[in-house]
Structure 1
Amino acid sequence: MPDGSSKWGNFMLRVELFVNDVEVSLSFYRDILGFEVVGENATYRALRLGNSRLALQDIRTLEPDHPLAQPWKRGLGVEIVLEVEEVTTLHQRVQACWAQVTSLKQQVWGLTDFRVTDPDGYYWRITEKRS
């Protein structure tokens, strides 16, 4: 069901990242990856890139007993995948202004991608869209 519908109705996945500094993270996602801000308040930014939704939330807003407020590396064990149409162009843009980026690589499964780590350590695989 490619239109986003399922037996549970229509759906969309949104990822919310808890970050040390919303403005630093916003700069990475907006200025480097190309997300646009679609909502905000003092400690939160809602972002969009095509059909992808991403939220940035200041980690200090979490209650002390919240599981994500614990002092461990954020994003550990998760690879966030973003499919884009112009992976080579985006890679050049990211590589020009961000240190933590891998080379562009054709993978054995046939797609070309690169990996990048954001200011808080969240690990992204940026890949070309499947046809």
Structure 2
Amino acid sequence: MELFVEDMDVSVKFYRELLGFEVQRRAAGYASLRRGLVVLGLGPVAKLPAQGEGRGFTRQRLSVDKGAGVEIVLELDGLDELQALYEHCRERAVISEPLELRSWGLYDFRLADPDGYYLRITHGNAAARIG
């Protein structure tokens, strides 16, 4: 998955320092980050064409609302890891929805990245419960 972002430095810092991704590769127009099995690419909006026809990405199209209608789900290995990341994020970012048990049996919390991409952070074990 690649996200087009306004400020590469701000986005790399968000994913690295807040969510624990490691930078695998960094160049002027691209960054590749990894957390576990998840690989995330970041590219600058500025490298896109200003406008165009069809369904391709353009700066004009992304100026309306980046990520509208998309929820990016990061699934962690377990509930302890989820709780720790939630506490880390809660002290450093605006949480859209707090950590809670959902009707489908998993805990999650939600937040947006600096460009407004909506993130749901959850865990992979439906049997787990918070103490």
TM-score range, shorter chain: 0.7 to 0.9
In the alignment, is residue 59 of structure 1 matched against residue 54 of structure 2? no
Aligned to 2:121: 126
Deviation at 1:29, TM superposition (A): 0.1
Q: What's the TM-score, normalizing by structure 1?
A: 0.84
Work out whether residues 94 and 101 of structure 1, in 8 Å CA contact, stay in contact via their aligned partners in 2. no
Q: Residue by residue, what CA displacement relative to the aligned partner does 1:45-74 show, whole Å, maximum 9, x if unpaired?
A: 100001101011010001122534222110
Match of 2:99 in 1: 104
1:82 aligns to what SS in structure 2? strand
RMSD of equivalent CA atoms:
1.3
Structure 1: segments with no counterpart, 5+ residues: 1-14
Indicate if the aligned counterparts of 1:38 and 1:46 stay in contact, CA closer than 8 A.
yes
Deviation at 1:102, TM superposition (A): 2.3
Q: Which amino acid aligns with 2:87?
A: Q
Provide Cα deviations, 1:66-89, integer angstroms capped at 9, x if missing partner.
534222110100000010121111
Contact 2:49 / 2:58 at 8 angstroms: preserved in 1? Answer: no
- Letter of the aligned partner of 1:63 in structure 2? P
Deviation (angstroms), 1:28: 0.5
Q: How many residues align?
A: 117
Counterpart Cα distance in 2 of 1:128 and 1:81 = 10
CA distance in 2, matches of 1:46, 1:67: 19
* One-letter code aligned to 2:4: F
- 5+ residue gaps in structure 2? 127-131
Counterpart-to-counterpart distance in 2, 1:21 and 1:100? 21
